[in-house]
């Protein structure tokens, strides 16, 4: 006679145990997808810079949703066998299996139409730009990227000609503004816009003022005096209202002609290194000739036929690789500022065409 008991202590333990997967995957997924989204945004931005250099229109896909789905399947079997009429023997058998399935889903939305115009063709306002300097971003990097002119001083442009190199005094001004910023003498004051409730108008960005605190030592006083002279600011003027435009309306205003994001990307595009044969064949134009006071591009983008490795961001375009060196901190910082400006330029819009890609 054979007695069979379909039960095992291990099976009972596994069947009755409470197993939670969510909290174990939270940290791993949050950090992993955060890194992946950040890296893909850098590569997309760099690819669009190179596209502009070769005469193509930039194309952006916004990641609107990331869903990480998991399914855990478990099965347990067990048996206990006793043979009374046979030689003494007892057999305990069992088995367990588990299967984890992951099915992430990524949702993208192309930036098109009015949304595209708002994001990339609308100039950044001074009231949006200057608070970034107040938050700690280098004002010289911000202005080199997003400002076309300060008063009569011109920044370099996305034009492959010497005329696009800009005014030498523009870069001297940025150098001095950065020194004042580091020394704590440069301030930004925001003034909220008064909203007319009767018109039910949404609140605007308000007014922004640039303040210059008096310097305590001779070296910084000389720097501040040089800034005032370049900007045409009268002595002892405590602050200036920063307005958008080529020329101020009053002596207490500072005119900033800011760029749209398309202009920011174009600035990087025509300073990027490209193969000489592409220029000779007419596939692209020559790079902007730098001025003597600022010979270095704001972001140094290199090119080669092979993947260089150790890059901060790299993309393949046609038969060449274009990259930003991971050991070039200044270029990495400036390129990170570009991503901040892209986020600043983004505006909300109603959902348009959505692309959903199930992975796995």
Task: Name the token pair of 158.
Answer: 């996305």
Helices (H), the chain: 9-16, 22-53, 113-116, 126-134, 139-146, 168-182, 218-231, 261-269, 276-280, 329-345
| Nearest Cα residue to 303 out of 292, 295, 315, 312 | 315
Could you tell me if 193 and 301 lie in one domain?
A: yes
Choosing from 61, 85, 108, the residue where a domain stops is 108
Q: What's the pTM?
A: 0.77
Per-residue exposure over 167-195, b if at least 16 CB sit within 10 Å of its own CB, e if not:
bebbbbbbebbbbbbebebbbbeeeeeee
Could you tell me if 7 and 103 lie in one domain?
A: yes
- Does residue 113 belong to any structural domain of this protein? no
Could you tell me if 157 and 67 lie in one domain?
A: no
The number of distinct structural domains making up the chain is 2
- Does residue 233 belong to any structural domain of this protein? yes
Choosing from 54, 81, 108, the residue where a domain stops is 108
pLDDT (0 to 100) of residue 329 = 96
DSSP state of 196: -
Choosing from 108, 136, 153, the residue where a domain stops is 108
- Does residue 282 belong to any structural domain of this protein? yes
Task: Name the token pair of 269.
Answer: 């595009």
- Does residue 116 belong to any structural domain of this protein? no
Could you tell me if 56 and 128 lie in one domain?
A: no
pLDDT (0 to 100) of residue 2 = 44
Could you tell me if 268 and 350 lie in one domain?
A: yes
- Does residue 114 belong to any structural domain of this protein? no
pLDDT (0 to 100) of residue 167 = 87
- Give dist(CA 72, CA 218) in Å, integer: 70
Taking a C-beta distance cutoff of 8 angstroms, is the pair 180, 186 a contact?
A: yes
Could you tell me if 96 and 129 lie in one domain?
A: no
Could you tell me if 227 and 345 lie in one domain?
A: yes
Could you tell me if 234 and 95 lie in one domain?
A: no
DSSP state of 201: P
Q: How many CB atoms lie within 10 A of CB 296?
A: 10
Tens-digit pLDDT profile for the chain (360 aa)? Answer: 444 444 445 444 444 444 555 566 666 667 777 787 788 889 999 999 999 999 998 888 777 776 766 665 666 666 656 556 655 555 656 666 666 566 677 777 777 777 777 888 899 999 989 999 988 899 999 999 999 999 889 998 766 544 556 788 999 999 999 999 999 999 999 887 665 555 555 555 678 999 988 888 999 999 999 999 998 888 888 889 999 998 888 888 999 999 999 999 999 999 999 999 999 999 999 888 777 778 889 999 999 998 888 889 999 999 899 999 999 999 999 999 999 999 888 764 444 445 455 554
Task: Name the token pair of 193.
Answer: 């816009």
Q: How many CB atoms lie within 10 A of CB 281?
A: 9
Could you tell me if 330 and 281 lie in one domain?
A: yes
Taking a C-beta distance cutoff of 8 angstroms, is the pair 308, 321 a contact?
A: yes
Could you tell me if 239 and 209 lie in one domain?
A: yes
Residue 200 region, left (φ>0) first, then alpha (ψ -120 to 50), else beta?
A: left
pLDDT (0 to 100) of residue 20 = 57
pLDDT (0 to 100) of residue 57 = 87
- Does residue 60 belong to any structural domain of this protein? yes
Could you tell me if 101 and 154 lie in one domain?
A: no
Could you tell me if 150 and 77 lie in one domain?
A: no
Give the residue numbers spanning the domain of 50: 3-108
- Give dist(CA 168, CA 258) in Å, integer: 18
Q: Containing H/E element for 53?
A: helix 22-53
10 Å CB burial of residue 343 (0-12, 13-18, 19+) is: exposed
- Does residue 230 belong to any structural domain of this protein? yes
């Amino acid at each position: 006679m054979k007695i069979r008991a379909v039960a095992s202590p291990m099976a009972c333990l596994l069947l009755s145990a409470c197993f939670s997967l969510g909290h174990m995957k939270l940290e791993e997924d949050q950090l992993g997808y955060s890194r992946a989204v950040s890296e893909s945004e850098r590569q997309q931005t760099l690819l669009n810079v190179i596209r502009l250099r070769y005469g193509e229109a930039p194309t952006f896909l916004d990641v609107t949703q990331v869903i990480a789905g998991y399914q855990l399947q478990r099965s347990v079997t067990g048996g206990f066998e006793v043979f009374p009429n046979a030689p003494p023997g007892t057999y305990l058998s069992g088995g367990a299996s588990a299967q984890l399935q992951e099915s992430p889903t990524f949702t993208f939305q192309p930036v098109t139409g009015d949304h595209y115009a708002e994001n990339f063709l609308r100039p950044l306002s001074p009231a949006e730009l200057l608070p970034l300097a107040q938050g700690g971003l280098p004002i010289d990097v911000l202005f080199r990227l997003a400002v076309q002119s300060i008063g009569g001083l011109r920044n370099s442009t996305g034009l492959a000609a010497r005329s696009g190199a800009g005014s030498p005094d523009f870069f001297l001004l940025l150098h001095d503004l950065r020194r004042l910023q580091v020394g704590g003498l440069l301030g930004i004051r925001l003034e909220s816009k008064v909203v007319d409730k009767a018109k039910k108008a949404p609140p605007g960005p308000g007014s922004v003022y640039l303040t210059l605190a008096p310097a305590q030592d001779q070296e910084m006083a000389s720097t501040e005096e040089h800034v005032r002279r370049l900007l045409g600011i009268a002595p002892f003027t405590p602050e200036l209202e920063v307005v958008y435009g080529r020329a101020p309306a009053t002596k207490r205003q500072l005119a900033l002609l800011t760029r749209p994001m398309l202009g920011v990307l174009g600035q990087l595009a025509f300073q990027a290194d490209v193969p000489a044969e592409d220029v000779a064949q007419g596939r692209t134009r020559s790079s902007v000739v730098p001025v003597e006071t600022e010979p270095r591009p704001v972001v140094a983008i290199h090119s080669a036929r092979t993947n260089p490795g150790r890059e901060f961001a790299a993309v393949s375009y046609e038969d060449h690789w274009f990259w930003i060196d991971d050991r070039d901190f200044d270029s990495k910082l400036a390129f990170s500022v570009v991503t901040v400006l892209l986020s600043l330029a983004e505006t909300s819009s109603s959902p348009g065409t959505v692309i959903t890609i199930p992975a796995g």
